[in-house]
Amino acid sequence: MTASRDPDALIRRAKRGDPDFDQHFLVDDRVLDRIPSYLPEDADRGHLLEIGGGTGALTDRLLAAGDEVTVVERDPELAAFLREEFAAEVDAGRLTVVEGDALDVDLPDFTACVSNLPYGVSSEIAFRLLPEKRPLVLMFQKEFADRMAADPGTDEYGRLSVTAGHYAAVEVVEDVPAAAFDPRPRVESAVVRCTPRDPDYTVPDEAFFLDFVTACFTQRRKTMRNAVRNTAHISGLGDPDAVVDAADEDLMSKRAGTVTPAEFAELAALAWEVGEP
């Protein structure tokens, strides 16, 4: 078995990361080796996607774990380095390097995504990936990761928890200290596994459901009664009072932070029916 590339040596051959450009390269070999293993056992590893390839330490591990890899890197200098460093894999058709912003480029028909995401745009990238319904193993700031995986009634539970959980079972599988990166970020990090699933509820319109959840959480300290009434400009409701009048009184007395995803779905279905969205 070929030895994995040394992440520190890759940085010496390429360049150090620039924190001003959200470049924090993972250099802990033990974490790098574990990350691909967090994919679900039955995940199709035929075509792995990596966003934010950096100097290629994780790319190297993904090439060992999958049949084909596509890496997206927005830094032209690093994209050129990846093509040179992995020239044999590129020539063999096992690696494709896409230079560009992951929010703008056309993504391939990948089977799973494993990435140390640029934290400044991690939310936008995550919600580009989640609707694809593919297994994801993603590195986030720890605070963001905890909010993605939070349960109702906890301080971390919010719009992010409901929205991510609409597409996948989300779990934090490893906390990663700042010392595992070069340069060190100012925050702790965590690896999140997202396993695609259908929710245990139905919604009349997915876009409306997600907007409705977002609206309610903008007033998470108020009762759902007031949150529904006060956020029609976000949810798109034409008659929020009709929703409040028709909804269960106990549910309307709750605050968004204690409302389960299934209860949000039930209320969104009612709002779709009587609220004139």
Rg (CA), the chain: 21
**Whether the Cβ atoms of residue 242 and residue 229 lie closer than 8 Å to each other:** no
User: Is residue 232 very low, low, confident or very high in pLDDT (cuts 50, 70, 90)?
Assistant: very high
Query: In the chain, which residues fall in CATH 1.10.8?
Result: 206-274
Q: What is the mean pLDDT of residues 202-231?
A: 96
Bond preceding residue 240 cis, omega within 30 of 0? no
Encode pLDDT of 107-141 as tens digits. Answer: 999 999 999 999 899 999 999 999 999 999 999 99
Please state the residue numbers annotated as binding site.
24, 26, 52, 73, 101, 116
Q: What is the mean pLDDT of the chain?
A: 96
CA distances from 83 to 69, 149, 187, 207 (A): 12, 35, 31, 39
The HSE-up count of residue 50 (CA atoms within 13 Å, CB side) is 28
Please state the residue numbers annotated as binding site for S-adenosyl-L-methionine.
24, 26, 52, 73, 101, 116
Token digits for 122? 């991690």
Encode pLDDT of 129-186 as tens digits. Answer: 999 999 999 999 999 999 999 999 999 999 999 999 999 999 999 999 999 999 999 9
pTM: 0.94
Placement of tokens 């903008």 in the chain:
218
Among the four given CATH numbers 3.40.640.10, 3.40.50.720, 3.40.50.150, 3.90.1310.10, the one describing domain 7-196: 3.40.50.150
- 2, pLDDT greater than 90: no
Rounded distance, CA 169 to CA 146, Å? 13
- 1, pLDDT greater than 70: no
Query: In the chain, which residues fall in CATH 3.40.50.150?
Result: 7-196
Token digits for 216? 């309610």
User: Which class does domain 206-274 fall in?
Assistant: mainly alpha
Encode pLDDT of 49-107 as tens digits. Answer: 999 999 999 999 999 999 999 999 999 999 999 999 999 999 999 999 999 999 999 99
Token digits for 9? 């040596």
User: Is residue 253 very low, low, confident or very high in pLDDT (cuts 50, 70, 90)?
Assistant: very high
Q: What is the mean pLDDT of residues 189-217?
A: 96
- 3, pLDDT greater than 90: no
Token digits for 50? 């990596």
pLDDT on residue 33: 97
